[in-house]
Amino acid sequence: MHLIKDENGNPVQHGHDHAHSHGEGCGNHSHEHCGSCQGGDCKNETVALLTYMLQHNEHHAKELDQMAENLEKMELSAAARTIKEAVADFQKGNMRLGLALTLVKEELK
């Protein structure tokens, strides 16, 4: 287990022995095995990365939902409604990421 950094530079635990960091590179998530996996385990790395990204996105969806609730309390209903619509879109994307994760895991069996 090692640490990677989220988009804010905060350390996040990751289950592999090579470094990852958000930033420039493959899919805005550069790491030393990007595109080649030389000496690495691409499938397990992909499972770990997809799992992390899905959990990370779910966390952001919760934060945005809370922000919408706060905006409603401030009587900024149009902004709150727009954020809630964005959260619904986020959740659709997360559903697709979850499906992709399941498909990758099935291939590992």
DSSP string spanning 12-37?
Answer: EEESSSS-EEESSSGGGEEETTTTT-
pLDDT band at 7 (very low <50, low <70, confident <90, very high): low
Average of pLDDT values for 47-70?
Answer: 94
HSE-up (13 A, CA, CB side) for residue 15: 12
The SS3 assignment for 101 reads helix
pLDDT band at 4 (very low <50, low <70, confident <90, very high): low
pLDDT of residue 75: 97
Strand blocks (E) in the chain: 2-5, 11-14, 20-22, 29-31
pLDDT of residue 95: 95
pLDDT of residue 44: 82
Count of residues in the chain: 109
